[in-house]
Structure 1
Amino acid sequence: MINTILKFSGIEKEVKSFDKTKVANIHKMIHEKTGKGNDFLGWVDWPETFNKDEYNRMKVVANDLRSKIDVLLVVGIGGSYLGARAADEMIRGLYPTDKVELIYVGNTMSSTYTQNILDYLKNKEFGIANVSKSGTTTEPGIAFRIFEEFLINKKGNDVAKSRIVAVTDRAKGALKEMADAKGYETFVIPDDIGGRFSVTTPVGIFALLVAGVNTDAIMKGAMKARKELSKPSNEAYKYAVSRYLLNTDKNYKSEMLVSYELQLQYLTEWWKQLFGESEGKDGKGLLPTSCIFSTDLHSMGQFIQDGTKNIIFESIIRVKKPQVDINVPKLEKDLDGLNYLTKNSLHKINSIAIEGVIDAHVNVGKMPNIVLEFDKMDDEMFGYATYWFMKACAMSAYLLDINPFDQPGVEIYKKNMFKLLGKPGM
């Protein structure tokens, strides 16, 4: 369901001749859980082994909550919200007409944004899904305090109790303790799956159920990817090897993931965290960046085409079949000169534009392109694509001989912030 196509990468032969034994050994290491960070490889088998009883219980709780609210606040930061938002926007689009709207808080400490959400909720029926392994992360912790208090003041303790759900650790942590004390429903973040790999666990699935998304299809897509990527020779590893060689052999420093669909913007944001946190260690790794074309062609296109060379290569998401397609209307007076476009649908025009841009960037700009061809853009494709990228990320990081599943650098800024804020014990 995702094809990896190389365009002027200069590494086509190297990819074909790359050490297959090395790839096979890493593949075995991933599946047998023997590599660095192997305590966090639970996502590999998750599409098959996930807790079906808990999944069905989530459906019951989500359906009940869905019948009572207009808005679900998803409290979380990083992997605790990016996956849900990526799925929501890819599947439902940017302006969904479904009854329940998802709004994301706890991903910023902006007072203005927070007050704007409080104002928006004054005349709304809302619930809260608080997603945190510990419950002590600063940004979501502040947000939960604010919005929990707001909901209790607005609707009373009994209603608030029925509208707040915690997705957290199975047995420990501040959020688990708080949820148990206050009687909030809880669902489990698996111990062996880190945040950026957790989108198909309750971390992402619960909010999507409340939004009315077909999560069965998401899990079906993930299961299909697990099956298709069960051998060492696959398209995800081809992508991993390609970007590894562009980085280490050709000395490229950054990869730009490009989509021509606005509703895939948060998929690229999810991808940036996945690869940035997994690979950016020990002075290694590509800097993950993203653009949305053709929007950013009118801002970044000049640099991409003619700017500094041998820094960035592009990976292009090309969708073969859109969710919907429309035609360009024909005007009697062709004053804007666009009547020639009416013989093609808008998706066809977009697809032709992709080929034109690739040709310009590759053959004139001499920028390597990796084309990732998605069959479609729906719930099943989301489940497939996220598993596909996670598998590619694990291979990519292990090729660099680093642990894909920790993030030691993230802790440094937190310690400095806590010290400046006067946190006790710092």
Structure 2
Amino acid sequence: MPPHRDIHLDCNEAFAPQQAAGLTEIELEAAVPAFVQVHRALQAMHEMGQVQFMHLPFLEEVLRSVERRAEELRQSFDTMVVLGIGGSALGAKAIEEAVLGPRFQKLPSTDPKRIFVLDTLDPLYISRLLESLELERCVFNVVSKSGNTVETMAQFMYCYDLLKQRLGAERFRRHLVMTTDAAQGALRQIADQEGIESFEILPGVGGRFSVLSPVGLLPAAFLGISIQELAEGAVHLIKRCAREDLWTNPAAMLAMLSYLLAEKHDKRNLVVFNYSESCNSVVEWFRQLWAESLGKRQSLSGQEIFAGITPIRAGGPRDQHSQMQLYVEGPRDKMVMFWSQERYESDLKVPQLYSEIESLNYLGGKKFSEILAAELVSTEHALREAGVPNFRLIFYDTGPYTLGQLFYLLEIATVYVGGLLNVNPYNQPGVELGKKYLYGKLGRFGAEEFGATLARKLKEKRYVV
């Protein structure tokens, strides 16, 4: 096992004079009192048990029960299909891709287990996936905190009926597991009435903060990933973030950079430029965390402020050849956060070929990881010269311990920024409004007014080319 290493934040290219458009240390120091107030409030709420997501890595009994049940599922099934969307799906995908890396070929029977995360309602995609599965060897994990999520419940009802038809009324329920609220919602009602096995999501843990609850832990453990190491990495990061000093608390510095560049320098778009292919799904997970937590119309006092910092995904080196032109010469409204990985499980070396061709011979003998690192540094400095503030998250590898750190660094930083913006990072009223119109459109009882309003608005559409 490789040694455990801390995640670090290199913020040199975010500050003046290295970065002409960057922060000054005077600006940073002036904002410290506001940060300290936010930090102390978070720590006090954590100690009183009011910030539930920060307690998840410490719940040893939950970890042990998930491990035990996952091992039993591994004895009976080869494949887990996760029915969920948003925070009920993104964490499982992020853990699988980061820890196990790309898996391109069909798995022989001796290879590790596999999961499919069904976070879509595309009928062709769903039907093709289900047709490819040997249902006898599949368990379906239905994940919804509310227990009423439209997409997830539609998937569940279809798969419930399919399993019942194919496997028979006596056996099909053993192929179902539910992860939902402990006391409320349709999924909880069904689990209790029909005796379907279920795992609980703690009250106060929203979907986007639930990755180290059974939402993310059960799929991870089914894949054979050490959820104890995930939790240990998270605990280590939480302890690092108990410090008030910005220069020893990476989540604090990340939050302050993002907040000050957005509010004081009008950099309201955060480009996450990821140079670790294994972390692509972690970026997707982070986009939801950041966008839903910070994009708020009202402050905590009810004032309209339309707060938020828009997360934009970019991948290196491919987007050096697609998006970089915009970042270098386009609108001055962006900051860039690079993600870089130090150690790879395997590496490749360019052979010594074409020594007579000057435009190629310098590549001979260089490792791919070396070229990738050079690409990142070169992109950093190009952005610096162009006046685009940037900073870099550096992680040793993408193993479970590192990933636990990364999840909690980003979660705590997000909560810090919410506090600095004076918004509630735990709710999502904009999402809820869309759900009400969806319920009305689909004819759910109690949503008739939203359905009527939507029908009227649809009739008024004029500008369609």
TM-score by length of 2: 0.85
Which one of the candidate residues 360, 364, 380 is aligned to 1:358? 380
Measure how far apart 1:158 and its partner are. 4.0
- RMSD across aligned positions (CA): 2.1
SS at match of 2:133: helix
Q: 1:329: which partner in 2?
A: 351
Q: 2:7: which partner in 1?
A: 2
Which one of the candidate residues 234, 240, 250 is aligned to 2:255? 240
**Superposition pairs for residues 210-221 of structure 1, below 5 Å?**
210-221=222-233
Matched, 1:101 2:114: yes
Measure how far apart 1:161 and its partner are. 2.2
Measure how far apart 1:333 and its partner are. 7.0
Matched, 1:300 2:310: no
Q: Distance in 2 between matches of 1:126 and 1:335?
A: 54
SS at match of 1:256: strand
Which one of the candidate residues 75, 89, 110 is aligned to 1:81? 89
Matched, 1:423 2:438: no
Q: 2:303: which partner in 1?
A: none
Measure how far apart 1:175 and its partner are. 0.8
Which one of the candidate residues 287, 300, 309 is aligned to 1:272? 287
Q: Distance in 2 between matches of 1:39 and 1:407?
A: 22
Which one of the candidate residues 405, 418, 428 is aligned to 1:397? 418
The structure showing larger relative contact order (alpha-carbon pairs under 8 Å, at least 6 residues apart) is: 1
Instruction: Return the index of the structure with the highest Cα Rg.
Output: 2
Contact map agreement 1:323 1:377 (CA 8 A) in 2: no
Consecutive unaligned residues in structure 1, runs of 5 or more? none
SS at match of 1:325: coil
Measure how far apart 1:148 and its partner are. 2.1
**Superposition pairs for residues 108-257 of structure 1, below 5 Å?**
108-122=120-134, 125-233=137-245, 234-257=249-272
Match of 1:395, as an amino acid? Y
Measure how far apart 1:12 and its partner are. 4.0
Measure how far apart 1:255 and its partner are. 0.3
SS at match of 2:224: coil
Which one of the candidate residues 59, 62, 68 is aligned to 1:60? 68
1:183-205 CA-partner distances (Å, limit 9, x unpaired): 22111101021111110111100
Match of 1:278, as an amino acid? S
SS at match of 1:331: coil
Q: Distance in 1 between matches of 2:81 and 2:241?
A: 35
Q: 1:90: which partner in 2?
A: 98
Greater CA drift, 19-28 or 242-251:
19-28
State how many pairs are aligned: 419
Q: 2:462: which partner in 1?
A: none
1:61-95 CA-partner distances (Å, limit 9, x unpaired): 21121122222111111111111111110111121
Greater CA drift, 337-346 or 265-274:
337-346
SS at match of 2:145: coil
Q: Distance in 2 between matches of 1:393 and 1:64?
A: 36
Contact map agreement 2:354 2:360 (CA 8 A) in 1: no
Match of 1:288, as an amino acid? P
1:241-270 CA-partner distances (Å, limit 9, x unpaired): 011011100011210111112221111111
SS at match of 2:364: helix
Match of 1:104, as an amino acid? V
Measure how far apart 1:20 and its partner are. 2.6
Q: 1:47: which partner in 2?
A: 57
SS at match of 1:33: helix
Contact map agreement 2:269 2:335 (CA 8 A) in 1: yes
Q: 1:379: which partner in 2?
A: 400
Measure how far apart 1:339 and its partner are. 4.1
Moved over 4 A (4+): 332-337
Q: Percent identity?
A: 27
Q: Distance in 1 between matches of 2:64 and 2:373?
A: 40
